[in-house]
Structure 1
Amino acid sequence: MNAHTESSFIPGPAGPLELAIDRPTVPRPDGGVAVIAHPHPLFGGTLHNKVVQMLARAFVQQGWVAVRFHFRGVGGSAGVHDHGVGELDDLLAVVGACAAEPVPLALAGFSFGGYVAAAAAARLGAQRPVQALVLVAPAASRFTLPVLDAELHERTLVVHGEVDDTVPLAAVLDWARPQGLPITVVPGGEHFFHGRLPLLKSLVVRHLRAL
């Protein structure tokens, strides 16, 4: 993301996982860590994606350590794509290595990464509480997103573009509606939020400030 981004590797379920770590100038007193997941690997998704970098900047601005990582088979990460199953294990491995309790944990993801982040929050449940969950254009039309614990709703931000033609807004609403989970819709926004990244960042920062 910048000259101060740290590159690292951790052991993963399918071999080493490549990490990019950004640290805030003024960290949170409790040392919170945000793990951020990138879009679909088979469609060019990497930890360098502009939305993923924006999420990292928003968390760092609010004092969180931001950890982006490459899913298996991407960049320097070993393994091959596993259709979301192994990628969930990858994210959980990053959580275990970088955000061991009692450090507060945030999860975030864009598109496919949003699906994996939501699945990780559901998998962790009460055994490892998630203080903040940020899902940008989660891939509800392509994967079965989990039902989130109602207690997590107030700490969850879901943002979607009005005219997203990769993941239709209707699919995300169909997932959120039975849960009573609010969705923030960006008027005129498409899947990659071209021209609207500053707005997207401000929405994330506002959410984190309110926690």
Structure 2
Amino acid sequence: MPEVIFPGPEGRLEGRYHPQKMRDAPIAIILHPHPQFGGTMNNRVVYNLHYAFLNLGFTVLRFNFRGVGRSQGEYDQGIGELSDAASALDYLQSMNNNAKHCWVAGFSFGAWIGMQLLMRRPEITGFISVSPPANMYDFSFLAPCPSSGLIVNGTADRVAPPKDTLNLVNKLHDQKGITITHEQIEGADHFFQDPHMEPMIGMVQDYVRRRLTESTR
């Protein structure tokens, strides 16, 4: 797994970059959970999402937000982290300017950042939002949500309760021209502890595979 260092708004950012041999391979960035609660790019959900996209033929980048691991800077309430994500996408695009599709996937805090990035970057064609913390953060900026995507949560999530996720999904469903797919893993907690990780990743792969197939018709 190639380690990379690339420029961010507050200094260098540390990542793991996995390119494909095909020059026009789709690209994806993966965003990790809250830096102040132990979130890093090596989180199990983030790691598994990275390889899920890689195995589907994507060139993939995951990275540490500012102040995490070898990434410079300090935690910035999500504002700076959104800028970090934009820099990561710039870096990924600069090396893959023939990519036909661009996806963003995030877990927990990373899902919130990813959906904000979606609003800023019209080239993003799909998103994966795992355990979005709709009870902690305001998602009203998704008006309208510019891209179709998948939201996944566990029915036993005590960090981001399912009812709040459902409220978020229902608000997004009201918008025309996009399709929000919502899947729940029965009995899974916020972190998709075994045996729930594998079915969650399987759902993500099935969804992305279906979207890619539809786009080539």
- Cα distance in 1 for partners of 2:59, 2:98 equals 15
Q: Superposition pairs for residues 73-84 of structure 1, below 5 Å? A: 73-84=67-78
Q: CA RMSD in A?
A: 1.5
SS of match in other structure, 1:55: helix
**TM-score, normalization: structure 2?**
0.87
Specify the code of the residue in structure 1 equivalent to 2:207.
Answer: H
The question of 1:10 aligning with 2:6 is answered yes
Structure 1: stretches of 5+ with no match in the other structure:
none
SS in 2 for 1:99: helix
Counterparts of 1:152 and 1:176 in 2: how far apart (Å)? 13
Q: Which residue of 2 aligns with 1:43?
A: 37
Please give the alpha-carbon distance, in whole angstroms, between the structure 2 residues aligned to 1:209 and 1:68.
Answer: 20
Secondary structure in structure 1 of the residue aligned to 2:84: helix
Match 1:147 to one of 142, 150, 161 = 142
- Deviation by residue 1:11-68 (Cα, 9 ceiling, x = unmatched): 10011000111235xx556221110000000000000000001101110110001100
Q: Find the residue that maps to 2:147 and give its secondary structure.
A: helix
- The equivalent residue for 1:159 is 152
Mapped to 1, the partners of 2:55 and 2:106 lie a distance apart of 17
3-state SS of 1:130 partner:
coil
Taking structure 1 as reference, are residues 105 and 182 closer, same or farther at Cα in structure 2, changes over 3 Å only? closer
Q: TM-score, normalization: structure 1?
A: 0.89
How far is the alpha carbon of 1:148 from its aligned partner? 5.8
Report whether the alignment pairs 1:116 with 2:132: no
Asked if structure 1 preserves the Cα contact closer than 8 Å seen for 2:23 and 2:98, the reply is: no
What corresponds to 2:176 in structure 1? none
Structure 1: distance between partners of 2:90 and 2:18: 18
Superimposed CA distance per residue, residues 108-163 of structure 1 (whole angstroms, 9 cap, x where no aligned partner): 00000000001100121x3xx2122011001211111231645522xx01100001
Residues 154-181 of structure 1: per-residue CA shift (max 9 Å, x gap):
xx01100001001111111122212214
Which of 152, 164, 172 matches 2:165?
Answer: 172
Uncovered stretches (5+) of structure 2, i.e. residues with no partner: 174-179, 212-217
CA contact (8 A) 2:102 2:125 kept: yes
2:80 aligned with 1:86: yes
Give, as a single letter, the amino acid of the residue that structure 2 aligns with 1:152: S
Matches of 2:23 and 2:67 in 1, distance apart? 35
Indicate if the aligned counterparts of 1:135 and 1:158 stay in contact, CA closer than 8 A. yes
Contact 1:31 1:64 in 2 (8 A): yes
User: In percent, how many aligned pairs have the same letter?
Assistant: 31
Specify the code of the residue in structure 2 equivalent to 1:166. V
Out of 131-140 and 74-83, give the one that drifted further: 131-140
